[in-house]
Amino acid sequence: MTTMATRIQMPYTLTPGEATGVFLAELGRRRLIGSRHGDRILVPAQDFDGSTGEPAEGFVELAPAGRLEAFTVTAQGVLGLVLVDGADVPFLHRIVGFAEADLTIGARVAAVWADEPTGSVLDLAGFGPAGDGPGFKPRIAPDGLAQPFEQVEYTMTLDYQHSYGHYYGTLFDAVRTDRRLRGVKCSQCRRTLLPPRARCDVCFAPTAEWVDVEAVGVVQACSVVHIEFIGQRLKPPYVYAELVLDGTSTRLIHMVGGIDPAEARTAVAPGSRVRAVWSDRRTGSLADIDYFELIPGEPS
């Protein structure tokens, strides 16, 4: 086995704060809201001016038009810096509706609004070509401001291809094909380490020889898990345990199963002897062990 594909997917409820919250809420009403910091106006509205640290003294509505200061064309489209009329700092957004030959520094642009607001900065679809139509100077927004968004739902998804390397690769090959656990012995302290690795964590000495480890051991510590959380493999309640397999010096985190959940708290304890229950899956990971079970007739 050489690599493992994993995905980290994290749900967030992000808090935009007042200025960004107002800015996003007002985009749904097709209005561009900036913040006033002394004699500077920032759009999108900010709680603090990143250049001066000045807090926002209030919000203003800006005419949704400006001039293009810079742009970049990529395979995903055009992004540009638009200096909105009356603002002191450009606004980075999508540039839409231009033929590439017409993209020039200084081009007049105006807001292109999304057909249906969804509550993100993309309620403003971008800035497109515009004439020199009449606008207005930054002004107090008529009819008051929308309530700021308090929370924004967001999901971050990251896909990884992790390398196993020689040591984990050798272990997981043996797990998958032979249902065999393989560790390594440190050349200095002679302890057996599982999972195997190039160097002993304690001595920083190279490891020397491979040893087979039986999937039998003793519970060092355990805890009954009752709550549900993302990434769980078993349905709670179950016993989460730190195991020391016979002959090894490392601890293996796994689960103890095959017991009545009601008795879990008393049935498993430090010192309990356990053995692996292999699953029918052959994925080449320690999840090929469904769980560890108590060994009948041995200390529990």
Partner 1 sequence: MSYAPRPVAVVNSAQTLFKPSWADRQHVDLISEAVTGVLKGTGLRIDDVDFVIDSGSDFLDGRSISNCGFLGAMGAHHKEESRVEEDGLWALSYAMNKIASGSASVGLVVAYAKPSELDARSFWCTLLEPFTQRPVGLDHLSAAGLYAHRYLTAAGLKPKDLEVVARHAWEAAVRNPNVDLDEVPSAEPFWHERVASPLHGSDFARPVDGAVAVLLAAADVADQITTRPVRLTGHGSAIDQHFLAAREADALPACAAAARMALGTARATAFDIAEVSATSTVGELMVLEALGLAPRHKALDLYDGGGATAVNPSGGALPADPIMATGLARFHEAAARLAGRSGFAAGEARTALVHGTGGFAMQNHCVVTMEVAA
269 binds, among partner 1, Zn ion, none (CB under 5 to 8 A by kind): none
Tokens found for residue 139: 């002004």
Rounded to whole angstroms, how far apart are CA atoms 269 and 219? 7
Q: Does 156 bind partner 1 (CB under 8 A)?
A: yes
Alpha-carbon distance values, 161 to 1, 65, 153, 165 (Å): 12, 44, 27, 12
Q: Does 203 bind Zn ion (CB under 5 A)?
A: yes
Q: Does 200 bind Zn ion (CB under 5 A)?
A: yes
Q: Do β-strands 273-278 and 289-294 pair in parallel, antiparallel, or remain unpaired? A: antiparallel
Contact 90, 82 (CB under 8 A): yes
Stretch that binds partner 1, among 56-64, 153-161, 237-245, 284-292 (CB under 8 A): 153-161
150 binds, among Zn ion, partner 1, none (CB under 5 to 8 A by kind): none
Member of 22, 24, 62, 111 binding partner 1 (CB under 8 A): 24
Member of 120, 188, 250, 285 binding Zn ion (CB under 5 A): 188
Member of 31, 61, 71, 98 binding partner 1 (CB under 8 A): 71
Burial class from Cβ neighbours inside 10 Å (0-12, 13-18, 19+) for residue 66 reads buried
Stretch that binds partner 1, among 199-207, 241-249, 251-259, 285-293 (CB under 8 A): 199-207
Contact track, partner 1, 265-294, x by CB under 8 A: ------------------------------
Question: Residue 94 or 182: which CB sits closer to partner 1?
Answer: 94
Other Cβ atoms less than 10 A from the Cβ of 60: the count is: 22
Q: Going edge to edge, which strands form the sheet with 40-42?
A: 40-42, 32-37, 58-62
Q: Does 189 bind Zn ion (CB under 5 A)?
A: yes
166 binds, among Zn ion, partner 1, none (CB under 5 to 8 A by kind): partner 1
Residue type, 228: E
Burial class from Cβ neighbours inside 10 Å (0-12, 13-18, 19+) for residue 243 reads buried
The one-character DSSP state at 55 is: B
Q: Which helix (H) or strand (E) holds 216?
A: strand 216-225
Q: How far is the CB of 257 from Zn ion (least distance, A)?
A: 33
Q: Does 186 bind Zn ion (CB under 5 A)?
A: yes
Contact 202, 187 (CB under 8 A): no
Q: Which residues in the 217-276 window bind partner 1 by CB under 8 A?
A: none
Q: Using CB under 8 A as the criterion, which residues of the chain lie in contact with partner 1 when the complex forms?
A: 2-3, 6, 8, 14, 16, 20, 23-24, 42, 44, 46, 50-51, 69-77, 79-81, 89-94, 105, 120-122, 126, 152, 154, 156, 158-169, 197-202, 204
